[in-house]
Amino acid sequence: MSKKVLMLHGLAQTGPYFQSKTKNFRTALEAMGYELLYPTAPNRYPSADIPTSLLDSVATEPNSNEVVAWIENDEVNHTYFLPESTKIFLHDYIVENGPFDGLVGFSQGAGVAGYLATDLNTLLDLSPEEQPTLKFFMSFSGFRFVPEIYQKQYNDHPISIPSLHVKGELDTVTEPWKIEALFNSCDEDKRTLLVHGGGHFVPNSRGSVKKVTEWLEVNTE
């Protein structure tokens, strides 16, 4: 039976789009016996609510006035939060398609994945039978949630499973301090930081993918 990996896309992307952008990564993990599943976030928001500077760095559907997202912006209080719709969707998706060995996210999807990795079963109301403890977590351009309401969760439940944090030297979307904040939310003995020479994307070069698979082999023995 294949080992399953839950793949969470970035802001304004979709599952199929994220799948197309991670071809080499996906092929390499499939060769290791993994099956990668790519859900699409359940929330749709007007594209006018998303900063233009950010839309330049994400994938929007042609001629669409909406963007897909896991997180909801709170315009009144100038912050954001993880809506119940996302948690309910991911609970149901895991029950119907899991259980999963690994959790991988890009950008906003990595931010969500990182928060959930602190205590996936409690946050998504999953039993150990529905979802055993994850074996690994990978973050590509991911970040720690900034709003104060989430800090106790990170502080009380450091991410204890092996985690790989990948950042691009030319990434102008997710600032380095945000990536480092998520990295510092993990067990010191279980976390690894990997830097590539590109920007805000999942590196697909042969060299980068090789480093990821080598990490996976060592940390999931």
Catalytic residue IDs: 107, 171, 200
- The DSSP 8-state label assigned to residue 49 in this structure reads G
Is 48 within 8 Å of 42 (Cβ atoms)? Answer: no
Contacts 24+ apart (CB under 8 A), 204-209: 204/21, 204/22, 204/23, 204/24, 204/25, 205/24, 206/24, 208/166, 209/24, 209/25, 209/28
DSSP secondary structure string, 56-121? TTS---TT-SEEEESSEEETTTTEEE--HHHHHHHHHHHHHH---SEEEEETHHHHHHHHHTTSHH
Question: What length does the chain have?
Answer: 221
107: alpha, beta or left, given left = phi > 0 and alpha = psi -120 to 50? left
